[in-house]
Structure 1
Amino acid sequence: MRAADISDLWWRTAVYYCLDIETFQDSNGDGAGDLEGLASRVDYLADLGVTCLWLMPFQPTPDRDDGYDISDFYNVDRRAGDLGHFVELLRIAHGRGIRVIIDLVLNHTSDRHPWFVEARRSRDSEYRDYYVWRDKPPRNAQPTVFPGEEASSWEKDERSGQYYLHSFYRHQPDLNLANPRVREEIARIIGFWAQLGVDGFRVDAVPFLINPPGAADETDPHGFLRELHRFVGRRRGDAVLLGEVGLPQQEQREYFGLHETELDLQFDFETAQAIFLALVRGDARPIAESLKRRPTVDVRQGWVTFLRNHDELSLQMLSAEEREEVFEALAPDERQRVYGRGIVRRLAPMLRGEPRRLRLAYSLLFSLPGAPLLFYGEEIGMGELEGMGDRRAVRSPMQWRRGPTAGFSTARPSRLVRELPGGGYGPEHVNVHDQLRSPDSLLSFIKTLIARYRSAPEIAWGELVLHDVGDPQVLVHSLRTDEATFLAVHNVGDDARQVRIDEDAVGPDRLIDLLEPVGPVEAEDGVFRVALDGWGFRWFRAGAEH
């Protein structure tokens, strides 16, 4: 591709940062974060190196599912501010070179949304067909997404005597995308936010948009996604569609589009789970095997890599034995597990706060092929709320400084939208203020990784090569373009290793260290020898000094 073409694909090389407005910064002392508070922290995010914000839902909501139960797609929840505050946030973020994408929740609404309120008044309501109704639940009904929380994906509406579909919670009725009027409403929603200036959308729960009942076209299930992408492109040509497709990589391939683009980016759930299995075993092979399986996609499309996000750490793509192995190591308390498949913990406590192991994990995140994603607070090693037992455990207020409300709010601690972690992960020990002033802090390290990632475009654009060095404990991979070769070496075990890499595998150049101010590694007798401590890692660029 021409350089001009590549420069338009900003989403392929972005550094993503996901946050919940209500838990990031409170500006008015009511105990909940808001848009003005977030705007006041944009400089912090720019200094960190973030280039794209992903905002979790902030529209009006009864808040029974942390905002994903939306009751008005065209507005801002009054607790967060108003549309004027949102536009001002966009202006400030764009002024600092940060793009903003928002959650696009298309599968369902809140049961308090005016559409559903009207739909359940009468079977003859003009909004009745906005949702999926049956006289009786089908015999082969799909299971609920949240085992143990909902007995069925069909709920009886006592007034009309019919059942409505809810793939998630009963207070989130599924939209009927087979109805052209619903698809028209979705187009208006997308057009509205695009006109305000958002740079794209993170599309929630994509597989549920194409599965019957309620699919736009059962004869061409992916047609709706192609239609969605075309519409976004017409309204704003440089906007991105980032899809949540929680499927194995080979099945994800179809969601990129086999003949026409559907999604520009997808999260790589399979590699994320492989990383945790590798860290638990001290064996890098699960990561290498996942990367080998990852389908090759068009250069205009790509993968988003992550370690933790706003949901549970899903392990559903691991075998039952592998899943139990990770559970026992990282979530030994049953209260730290949900739905039989996931862990509701943040990364730092899962890895027992071990600095070298934590840095190893983030080194993998930023050096593997794909655009990296951070969940807010990861950069300082925040912990979760112990014993909460659901996904809200990882969504506690951002810890800006020491004190009873962590600099998040001036409200009394009892008025905070959510409590703060205690113990060694509380704000007295983990906060932005202290880490900004320490060159050895996790925050300083993450800033360095982001800076190196952004200065080495071959990580995003290069061709992946996995190098077998005869040691299952060590992952060696390179990413090559015509201009440069990036090489990363990771030891996922706790004992030291000496790695031998054939000179021919990376070229005859010396290796320039990108993370440490040390001299280059020269080949001896055709072999580069790289020493690694336990949980050690090195980043190199092959070639002359840069």
Structure 2
Amino acid sequence: MSRKPAWWKESVVYQVYWRSFRDTDGDGIGDLKGVIEKLDYIRSLGVTMLWVNPFNESPDKDNGYDVSDYYAIMKKAGTMADFDRLLTETHARGMKLMMDVVVNHTSDRHPWFIESRSTRNNPKRDWYIWQDGKDGEPPTNWRSYFNPSCWELDEATGQYYMHSFATEQPDLNWANPEVREEIYKMLRFWLDKGVDGLRLDALALLAKPDKYADAENPRDIRYLTHNPGLHDYLQEMNREVFRHYDIMTVGEIAFATPETGVLFVDEERNELNTLFHFEVADEMPEWDMVRFKRIQMLWAESLKGRGFGSQFLNNHDHTRQVSRYGNDKEYREESAKLLATMIHTLPGIPYIYQGEEIGMTGVRYETIGDYQDIAMINKYVEEVGKGGDPAAVLRSLQPLSRDNSRSPMHWDDSTNAGFTKGTPWIKINPNYREINVERAEQDPNSVLAFYRKLIALRSRSPVMVYGDFTDISGDDAHLYVYMREYDGTKWIVLLNHGESPRIFTFPEAAIAQKTHNPVLVLGTHETSETWNDEGTIELRPYEARIYEMKE
């Protein structure tokens, strides 16, 4: 963790998946006016940065991540005037706005691709990745994220184009300097409007492999990422764009490890401010405390003195954290508060995904027809096509479906949870009558109330941002206890991630001495107890406490 002060390091980011946030025109799809309508609510949380998922013009095959016009607003989302007002109103409330930008690929409806596929000798042919087939088959056996092959035959020109995601999302050829300059021009357009941050989608895929040869294990798609030239592109992007603006940049970096991840954010390398890695959200299907602690330790060690990381457990691509990593039944509120405490006190910038702050849960729809997630639907078709039992395939895909987090926001207990007066684009979670913002606002002990306290605490406590990190709980499978220390301030965070009471014994007798005078800063449960002379403390199920050690 670098201690060099910067406003973006002190950020708390709130992610808005606008199509599921608030619908103002009754078409069943959220819109930018809906985000504007709820800005006071967002501001009331204490967050400082608003991240809005892609709203550029798009055929919407992958919920906006297939852009057909970088300079226009998707009609479902609204107009450029709506965006300008969103930016102005966000700034008026003292918050900043982060835009989600897709630079690895475009839509197949983008004018660039329409030109590129028109003839083999079109000037834009080399703006995308084109290859000849091999013995009547695709050029390689590579898979895409969403399909069994990342190659699609264009019958008119007789070549295959590469798509790392859906067939409607052809990959740009970043090796072509004309492509890079067009992307930089586009980024400058939005930054000149006053956008404060960029969340850069699928950055690990920009550079393509040196050779188009079959992979030994095509299902391990790491070969699509971290290829030679990637860091050259990012350093050029920084030189040409980022360094000229006072902004926050965060890269979505698939398959980043502590060793490779630090290269993207090392402050001496001039690439990105921070990154998302997925060693938890992608690679840890269910809660594993020992594994999670090891991941946190390795990243903290790698980034120390060099760069800054991010903390999140759910977003628009991952199941809601209280269902996946907590207990969304008898301990829903307790585990939601515990996970929040952990994310906001570990090193890095905390991200809140809409609805997380009221403890919204994942959803299970009854039929595949209720799902909209293109990745899930394609996988379902593939597995059933291989002979899988449809009901069993559906059950296997439900827990990690991206639609778990994409069901609409719960504002109140009225029809459609106050999200829309029309028919929602995707079904509402049936538990909205029990879990909604209006109800949470009336409960001083709600998950929402706790988030506000936690965020307020971060805003006045540099130790949460810049503090050194030391895990003192070892390989305990349920207890996570760590210290944060900065400029003479020492905090101890204690977490019991489990359904039974647990006793923690401090490894150092000095910590337990009363001369240190532990003061409870924040806790998930009502309590006045500290630890005893023997240095032991009992934590209830899903209890979290933050203490400051006074000399």
What TM-score comes out, normalization by structure 1 length? 0.84
Q: Hey, what does 1:203 align to over in structure 2? A: 200
The answer to whether structure 1 residue 394 and structure 2 residue 415 are counterparts is: no
Residue 46 and residue 506 in structure 1: after superposition, are their counterparts in 2 closer, same or farther (change >3 A)? farther
The answer to whether structure 1 residue 532 and structure 2 residue 532 are counterparts is: no
Q: Hey, what does 1:336 align to over in structure 2? A: none
The answer to whether structure 1 residue 352 and structure 2 residue 360 are counterparts is: no
- Identity, in percent, stands at 33
Alignment of 1:322-341 (within 5 A): none
Match of 1:485, SS state, is: strand
Alignment of 1:68-107 (within 5 A): 68-107=65-104
Per the TM alignment, residue 109 of structure 1 is displaced from its structure 2 partner at its CA by: 0.4
Q: Hey, what does 2:109 align to over in structure 1? A: 112
Match of 1:541, SS state, is: strand
Kindly indicate whether the alpha-carbon contact (under 8 Å) linking 1:436 and 1:444 is maintained by their aligned counterparts in 2: yes
Match of 1:466 among 443, 467, 471: 471
Residue 250 and residue 461 in structure 1: after superposition, are their counterparts in 2 closer, same or farther (change >3 A)? same
Match of 2:58 among 42, 58, 61: 61
Q: Output the amino acid matched with 2:263.
A: E
Kindly indicate whether the alpha-carbon contact (under 8 Å) linking 1:503 and 1:523 is maintained by their aligned counterparts in 2: no
Match of 1:104, SS state, is: strand
The answer to whether structure 1 residue 221 and structure 2 residue 225 are counterparts is: no
Instruction: For 1:532 and 1:416, locate their aligned partners in 2 and report how far apart those are by CA, in whole Å.
Output: 42
Q: Output the amino acid matched with 1:398.
A: M
Per the TM alignment, residue 101 of structure 1 is displaced from its structure 2 partner at its CA by: 0.8
Per the TM alignment, residue 276 of structure 1 is displaced from its structure 2 partner at its CA by: 6.8
Instruction: For 1:101 and 1:489, locate their aligned partners in 2 and report how far apart those are by CA, in whole Å.
Output: 32
Kindly indicate whether the alpha-carbon contact (under 8 Å) linking 1:511 and 1:520 is maintained by their aligned counterparts in 2: no
Match of 2:168, SS state, is: coil
Residue 347 and residue 458 in structure 1: after superposition, are their counterparts in 2 closer, same or farther (change >3 A)? same
Q: Hey, what does 1:482 align to over in structure 2? A: 487
Alignment of 1:36-435 (within 5 A): 36-136=33-133, 140-146=140-146, 150-212=147-209, 220-236=229-245, 238-247=246-255, 248-257=257-266, 260-272=269-281, 277=286, 279=287, 284-294=289-299, 295-297=301-303, 299=305, 301-312=307-318, 344=319, 347-348=322-323, 351-353=327-329, 354=331, 355-387=333-365, 388=371, 389=398, 390-411=401-422, 415-422=423-430, 425=431, 427-435=432-440
Q: Hey, what does 1:340 align to over in structure 2? A: none
Comparing 377-386 with 100-109, which one deviates more in the overlay? 377-386
Q: Hey, what does 1:338 align to over in structure 2? A: none
Instruction: For 2:322 and 2:473, locate their aligned partners in 1 and report how far apart those are by CA, in whole Å.
Output: 28
Kindly indicate whether the alpha-carbon contact (under 8 Å) linking 2:100 and 2:201 is maintained by their aligned counterparts in 1: yes
Per the TM alignment, residue 65 of structure 1 is displaced from its structure 2 partner at its CA by: 0.5
Instruction: For 2:121 and 2:474, locate their aligned partners in 1 and report how far apart those are by CA, in whole Å.
Output: 68
Q: Output the amino acid matched with 1:480.
A: E
Instruction: For 2:527 and 2:37, locate their aligned partners in 1 and report how far apart those are by CA, in whole Å.
Output: 38
Kindly indicate whether the alpha-carbon contact (under 8 Å) linking 1:243 and 1:266 is maintained by their aligned counterparts in 2: yes
- Per-residue Cα deviation, 1:319-346 (whole angstroms, up to 9, x for no partner): xxxxxxxxxxxxxxxxxxxxxxxxx456
Instruction: For 1:371 and 1:186, locate their aligned partners in 2 and report how far apart those are by CA, in whole Å.
Output: 27
Match of 2:309, SS state, is: strand
Kindly indicate whether the alpha-carbon contact (under 8 Å) linking 1:268 and 1:305 is maintained by their aligned counterparts in 2: no
- Per-residue Cα deviation, 1:269-289 (whole angstroms, up to 9, x for no partner): 225578875x46xxx432322
- Per-residue Cα deviation, 1:27-55 (whole angstroms, up to 9, x for no partner): 22222221121111111011012211111
Residue 382 and residue 472 in structure 1: after superposition, are their counterparts in 2 closer, same or farther (change >3 A)? closer
Instruction: For 2:82 and 2:93, locate their aligned partners in 1 and report how far apart those are by CA, in whole Å.
Output: 17
Instruction: For 1:466 and 1:2, locate their aligned partners in 2 and report how far apart those are by CA, in whole Å.
Output: 18
The answer to whether structure 1 residue 32 and structure 2 residue 37 are counterparts is: no
Instruction: For 1:470 and 1:162, locate their aligned partners in 2 and report how far apart those are by CA, in whole Å.
Output: 53
Instruction: For 1:257 and 1:465, locate their aligned partners in 2 and report how far apart those are by CA, in whole Å.
Output: 21
User: Is there any run of 5+ residues in structure 1 with no aligned partner, and where?
Assistant: 313-343
Instruction: For 1:500 and 1:447, locate their aligned partners in 2 and report how far apart those are by CA, in whole Å.
Output: 30
Match of 2:57, SS state, is: coil
- Per-residue Cα deviation, 1:170-199 (whole angstroms, up to 9, x for no partner): 110000111111001000111011011111
Comparing 152-161 with 401-410, which one deviates more in the overlay? 401-410
Comparing 214-223 with 431-440, which one deviates more in the overlay? 214-223
Instruction: For 2:416 and 2:179, locate their aligned partners in 1 and report how far apart those are by CA, in whole Å.
Output: 43
Match of 1:125, SS state, is: coil
Match of 1:12, SS state, is: helix
Match of 2:23, SS state, is: coil
Q: Hey, what does 2:517 align to over in structure 1? A: 510
Instruction: For 1:241 and 1:50, locate their aligned partners in 2 and report how far apart those are by CA, in whole Å.
Output: 17
What TM-score comes out, normalization by structure 2 length? 0.83
Q: Hey, what does 2:10 align to over in structure 1? A: 13
- Per-residue Cα deviation, 1:383-416 (whole angstroms, up to 9, x for no partner): 33423354234212211111222112222xxx32
User: Is there any run of 5+ residues in structure 2 with no aligned partner, and where?
Assistant: 212-223, 366-370, 372-397
Kindly indicate whether the alpha-carbon contact (under 8 Å) linking 1:75 and 1:83 is maintained by their aligned counterparts in 2: yes
Kindly indicate whether the alpha-carbon contact (under 8 Å) linking 2:323 and 2:361 is maintained by their aligned counterparts in 1: yes
Kindly indicate whether the alpha-carbon contact (under 8 Å) linking 1:59 and 1:70 is maintained by their aligned counterparts in 2: yes
Q: Hey, what does 2:215 align to over in structure 1? A: none
Q: Output the amino acid matched with 2:273.
A: D
Q: Output the amino acid matched with 2:30.
A: G
Residue 431 and residue 493 in structure 1: after superposition, are their counterparts in 2 closer, same or farther (change >3 A)? closer
Q: Output the amino acid matched with 2:292.
A: I
Equivalent pairs counted in the alignment come to 494
Residue 273 and residue 539 in structure 1: after superposition, are their counterparts in 2 closer, same or farther (change >3 A)? farther
Per the TM alignment, residue 108 of structure 1 is displaced from its structure 2 partner at its CA by: 0.5
Superposed CA RMSD:
2.8
Instruction: For 1:506 and 1:515, locate their aligned partners in 2 and report how far apart those are by CA, in whole Å.
Output: 19
